[in-house]
Amino acid sequence: MSRTEPESTLLDDAARAGWLYYVGGKTQDQIAAELGVSRQRAQRLVSKAMAEGLIQVRLNHRIGACLALEQTLSERFALTRCRVAPGLGPGGDPALAIAPAAAAELERFLRKADPLVIALGTGRALRNMVDALTPLAAERHRLVSLIGNIAPDGSASFFDVVMRIADKVRAPHYPMPVPVISPTPEENAAFHALAPVRKVVDLARAADVIFVGVGQMSDDAPLLADGFVTRAELENMQAAGAVGEVAGWIYDSRGLYLDVGTNTRTGGVRVEPGLDRPALGIAAGASKVQAIHAALSSGIINGLITDEPTAKAILAF
């Protein structure tokens, strides 16, 4: 270490190098290019990350730049909770970058002694969160889905996470037994009139904490990619101002829910803006910046787990 190099800066660099190597799967040459150092320097930084215990399964050192972003985001959007993970560099998967931080946040609630109702959305980010989750015993808590678990072809929704989490934490779980999006508003109403569905809906509405993904409504919208809406439906909602969705519910650039398109047929429970309990968005990636910004602005979500590049883009939006 240089005599003039502060230990905190060295640990920042070591933490970032270890993250890129062990989570991002980067080579030492790629890490050197990413950090602007020599290959030998990159190798020493990765070794120091291990020697200092900064890298285990998760990143235990909080990089200063990420902490600053967390504080700025929290102040700007009045957040109850904010975690910013280091990015994985060009070509890295943002959903993988945020999964360990999201899992740690969920575990924080699962370890609470008092029983909680934890409501969950669906999507790839939450599925990665479950994969990063440490198995533990949490029988005192209840897990409930916010969104239907039936795909258009009648199969179980691929990204449903409630049962996956329940397997890891051995908690009672309550899937939402309705289609993600029904063919007609009348069919959606009929499903929600059923007594078992009403019980799950009531449980979801009373949740103590909420974890949701945030989907974009651009041409690469997850709802389109997963077959829940057609191209024509997406274009109609885009024309009405749709920019994002949370738990399948579409909203505009101000974070206001729309009364058009699939919102008339969406199953499950809508996350209302301005809740007095944690509603955490788990999302990252350049394509999601506008959708996240809108959800934060209106208070649909009052907490955020994201990565460093996305955090910077939200603040610059």
Residue-range domain boundaries for the chain: 7-51, 64-316
pTM of the model: 0.81
Residues 2-33 as b or e (16 or more Cβ within 10 Å = b)? eeeeeeeebbbbbbbbbbbbbbbebebebbbe
Does an H or E element contain 304, and which? strand 303-307
The CATH number corresponding to 7-51 among 3.90.550, 2.40.128, 1.10.10, 3.30.420 equals 1.10.10
Q: Name the strand (E) or helix (H) holding 235.
A: helix 231-239
CA proximity to 125, closest of 247, 271, 33: 247
The tokens of 210 are what?
A: 């909420």
According to DSSP, the residues that pair with 303 across neighbouring strands are: 81, 280
- For the chain, 317 residues long, give each residue's pLDDT as a single digit of tens: 444 455 657 888 888 898 898 888 889 999 998 898 998 899 889 888 887 877 665 556 667 889 899 999 999 999 999 999 998 888 889 999 999 999 999 999 999 999 999 999 998 999 999 989 988 999 999 999 999 987 777 777 666 789 889 989 999 999 999 999 999 999 999 999 999 999 999 999 999 999 999 999 999 999 999 888 999 999 999 999 999 999 999 999 999 999 999 999 999 999 999 999 999 999 999 999 999 999 999 999 999 999 999 999 999 99
> What is the number of alpha carbons within 13 Å of residue 234 lying toward its C-beta?
19
Count CB-CB contacts under 10 A for residue 51: 11
The beta-strand segments (E) located in 78-220 are 81-85, 117-120, 142-150, 173-179, 209-213, 215-216
Closest CA to 80 of 277, 271, 290, 307: 277
CATH architecture of 64-316: 3-Layer(aba) Sandwich (3.40)
Displacement of CA 305 from its chain's centroid (Å): 6
Q: How many CB atoms lie within 10 A of CB 269?
A: 25
SS3 217: coil
* 155 C-beta neighbours (distance < 10 Å), count: 9
Strand order in the sheet with 215-216: 215-216, 244-246, 249-251
